[in-house]
Structure 1
C-alpha cells in the first residue's frame, strides 16, 4: 500500500509538471495519459494493487470538502431552489431518460438505469480543471458549482437503489425516498455538528498555544477523513456531511482571515495544492483502470465494444436533459448550452462505479467502467466549447 501510494503521488506530481509546459491542455487529460503509461509499464503496474470503493470515496470526500471551503455559505440560501432542482430533480430526470435510452440497445432495464444514475452527478474539481482560462458567465458558473456540490448525495442514493434493483430484480420506490431523506438529513446534522466541534477545538488550540500552527494544519487536512468516517459509520451520507462541514469552515475562515492573515493565506495555498494532488491522482487511476480492463478483456477474448455506444448515448442524453432544463429555467439558448456543456464528470463518477462492484458481474462491471470513462472524457472535452458561447 505504501509503494502504491508513492507511485500514485509521484504520477500526480508529474502530471502537474507536464501540465506547466502545455497550458492549453487540461491537466485531467495529462493525468489520464500518465495513468495509461503506468498501466502499460509492467513494473509500475505491478506495484499498484486492485482498488476498493473506500479509497475512492475518501479521496472524493476530501475533494468535496475542500471545494465546499471555497464556497460562500450565503450563496446556499440565495440559490436553495436551484440547488434542489439541479441536485435532486435533474439527477432523477437524467437517470430516467438515460436509462430508457440505454435500454433501447438491448441492455436490461435495471442495468440501464444503473448506468444512467452513474452518469448524472457532476464534479466541481474536474470542471475547474478543464475551465481554466475560459470565461464562464457568472450565473451559470454559480449554478454549476452549487449543483456539483450537492448532487453527489442524490446520485449515491440513486446508484445504491439501482444497484439493488440489478441484484434483487426489483425496485423499492418508497424505501429509496425514505433512505434519501434519512441519509441527506443525517449528513447535514453530522456535518454541521462535526464542523462546529473541529472549529471550536482549533480556536481553543490557537488561544492556549500560539505556536500550534502545524497542529492546526494537520487537523485541517484530517478533518474531511474524520467527518466522512463518522457519518458513514452512522449510516448517513458522508458526502453531504463533508459538504456542510466545508461550508461551515469557509464561514469561519472568512471571519478569521484578518485575525490570522498568514495562516489564512497559507491555508488557501494548501487548499489548492491538496485539491490538485487529489484530482490528479483520481485521473491517473482512471487511465490505469482503462489499460487494465482492456488488457484483461483481450486476454479472455471479450472484445465487445458496446460500451462505446453506451458511453456516447449516456452523455448525449444528459446533455439534452441539461439543455432543456436551462431553457425551462429561462437561461436563454446560449446560457442553456453553457449549462449543458458545463456538466463535467470526474472523480465522483469513478467512485460511484466502484460502489456497485459487488452488485454486477465482472463483464458488466468492465462495460460500466469503460462507458462511464467515456462519459468523463466527452464531458471534459465538450466543456472547452463553452469559449465559443461565452
Structure 2
C-alpha cells in the first residue's frame, strides 16, 4: 500500500509537471484545461491509470484542498471580507440555499426524482471554484466588483453545500427532513469554523511572532509550523463537527494581516514564505485539475450504456442554477451585462466531484446517476463560460503590446551595466565571467558557453580568490547600480507601466542579494 501511494503521487506529480510545461507552449489555452486534458489522458491509458490509487476524499481534502484554500484566504484582505460581509452571506449562504430548494424541487417535479436524491444532487453542485473561474475568462479581467463577489462566494459556499448535502443524506437514509437540526448544524459548523480557525491561527501567529523576535527564531522551524497550520486546523475542526473548509479560510484571513505588518522583521524568511505560497498554490491548483481529469475519465469509463437521463438531469440542474444566479445578480442591482458574467461565473470543479464521491449511502444505481449528473454539471459549467465570457469581457492587449518593449528595455538595461564595467581594471578572467553573468539576464548565452562556464566552476578548485573575487563582486555591483539607474530614469519619463519597471528592478535586487548575501550563495 505504501509503495502504491508513492507511485500514485509520483504519477500525478509527473502529470502536473508535463501539463504545466505544455501550458507554457499553448498560450491560447488556459493552463487549467491543459491540466484537465493531461489528467483525462492519465485516466484513459491503462498503464498510468493503474498506477493511481482510488480517490480518497479525506486525504484529498486534508492535504490538497485545505492548504489551497488557506493560501487563497491569506491572499484576501480581511477589510474586503468585513466590508462585503452582508453580500458574502447572502451569496455564499442565501443563494446556495435558494438554488438547493428551487432547483431541487424542479428536479423532483419535472424529472420524477425522489426529493432527498434531488436535494443531494443540487447540494453537491453548490460549491463554486475560484481557480476554475480563472480558466474560463480567456485571460481577461472580470469587472472588479463581480470578480470580488465571485471569489468570496467560492471561498465560503463550500460549507453551505456540505451542510445541505448532509441534510439530504439524512433525509435519504431516514426518510425525515429535520430542518431545525440542520439549521443548528449549519450554525455550529460554519460559525464554529470561523471562530475556531481564526482563534487557532491567532494563537499560532502570536507564538511565531514571539519566536521571530527572540534568539530562538529559526526559519526552517517557522516554515514547518506555517505549512502544517492548515492541515492541523482542518483535521481538528472536522473532528469537532465544524467546517474545516471555513476554518482554514478564516485562518488564512488572519495571516493576511500578519504578513502585511511583519515582512521586514526577517526579510529572508518572509521572502521564502512568499515563494512557498506561490509555488504551493501553483502546484496544488494544477494537482487539483489533473486529479479532476483522472476522475472524469474513470467515471466515463465506468459508465454502462443505457438511459441518457443523467445527461438532461445535469443540463436541467446547470440551466436552472444559471437562471437563478442571473436573477440574484439583478436583485443585488448588478447591471445586466455584469449579471450575465456573475451567472456564468459559478464554475464548478474538484470540490463538487469530491463531495459526489464522498456520499457512500446511495444505492449503486443512484450513486452512478449522481456521479454522471455532477460530471455534466462540472463540464458544462466550464465549457459554457469559456465560449461566452471572452465575448463579454474587454480584450486586454497590454501584455502582447508590451512584450517587445519589455525585451528592448531589458536589453538596454543590461547594456547600461556592461557599459559601466568597461573602464574598470579587471583581469581577463573576471571580465569574461562578469560579462557572462550580465548577459545571462537576457537568457541569451548559448548552451556551449554555459557548458564551458559549468566546467570551470565544477572542476577548478576555486574560480576566484583574493583580489579577483573582490574585483568580480565590485564589477557586478557597479553594473547592477547602472541597471537600476537606467530603470529609475525610465520611470521618470512615464512611458512604461510602473509594474513592468518594478518587476525588472526587483530582479536586479534579487541578483544583488545572490552576490552579497552568503545565505543566498551556492557553494
**What is the correspondence of 1:160-309 to structure 2 with a 5 Å cutoff?**
160-209=166-215, 212-298=218-304, 302-309=305-312
Render the CA deviation track for 1:208-227: whole Å, top value 9, x for unaligned: 35772222222222211111
Specify the SS of the correspondent of 2:51. Answer: coil
- Please give the alpha-carbon distance, in whole angstroms, between the structure 1 residues aligned to 2:119 and 2:94: 16
After TM superposition, the structure 1 = structure 2 runs for residues 22-101 of structure 1, keeping only pairs within 5 Å, are 22-58=26-62, 59-101=64-106
Give the Cα–Cα distance (whole angstroms) in 2 for the partners of residues 319 and 47 of structure 1: 38
Match of 1:342 in 2: 345
Counterparts of 1:250 and 1:337, CA distance in 2 = 31
TM value normalised by structure 2 = 0.70
**Secondary structure of the corresponding residue to residue 213 of structure 2:** helix
SS in 1 for 2:121: helix
Change over 3 Å in CA distance of 1:374–1:272 after alignment to 2: farther
Output the CA distance in 1 between the equivalents of 2:38 and 2:216. Answer: 42
Q: Which has the higher contact order (CA 8 A, sep 6+)?
A: 1
Where structure 1 has 5 or more consecutive residues not aligned to the other structure, the ranges are: none
SS of corresponding position for 1:46: helix
Partner of 1:386: 389
Q: Distance in 2 between matches of 1:86 and 1:62?
A: 24
CA contact (8 A) 1:290 1:370 kept: no
Q: How many Å separate the matches in 2 of 1:256 and 1:86?
A: 33
CA contact (8 A) 1:63 1:125 kept: no
Cα distance in structure 2, aligned partners of 1:27 and 1:340: 23
Q: Describe the shift of the 1:82–1:9 C-alpha distance in structure 2 as closer, same or farther (beyond 3 A).
A: same
Q: In the alignment, which residue of structure 1 is the partner of 2:165?
A: 159
Distance 1:334 1:224, change over 3 A: same
1:374 alignment partner, one of 373, 376, 380? 376
* Structure 1: distance between partners of 2:278 and 2:309: 38
Q: Distance in 1 between matches of 2:337 and 2:375?
A: 27
After superposition, give the CA deviation of every residue in 1:29-87 in whole Å (9 maximum; x if it has no partner): 22221122112222211112211220232222222111101000011111011011001
Q: How many residues align?
A: 386
CA contact (8 A) 1:136 1:386 kept: no
Q: Does residue 1:148 correspond to 2:154, yes or no?
A: yes
**Equivalent residue for 2:20?**
16
After TM superposition, the score normalised by the length of structure 1 is 0.93
Equivalent residue, structure 2, for 1:324: 327
Equivalent residues of 1:120, 1:318 under 8 A apart: no
Task: Tell me how far apart the structure 1 counterparts of residues 352 and 307 of structure 2 sit (CA, whole Å).
Answer: 22
CA distances 1:317-369 after superposition (whole Å, capped 9, x unpaired)? 1111110011111101011011111111112212221221x121223222222
Structure 1 381/264 Cα, relative in aligned 2: closer, same or farther at 3 Å?
A: farther
Deviation at 1:93, TM superposition (A): 0.7
Quick one: distance in 1 between partners of 2:372 and 2:32?
17
Alpha-carbon distance in structure 2 between the residues aligned to 1:141 and 1:340: 12
Contact 2:211–2:217 (8 Å) recurs in 1 = no
Q: What is the CA–CA distance in structure 1 between the aligned matches of 2:284 and 2:205, rounded to whole Å?
A: 23
Q: Distance in 2 between matches of 1:88 and 1:211?
A: 42
Distance in 2 separating the partners of 1:323 and 1:213:
48
By how many angstroms is 1:102 displaced? 2.2
- Equivalent residue number for residue 116 of structure 2: 110
Q: Unpaired segments of 5 or more residues in structure 2?
A: 394-523
- Residues 236 and 17 of structure 1: CA distance in aligned 2, closer, same or farther (over 3 Å): same
SS at the partner of 1:194? helix
Deviation at 1:161, TM superposition (A): 0.8
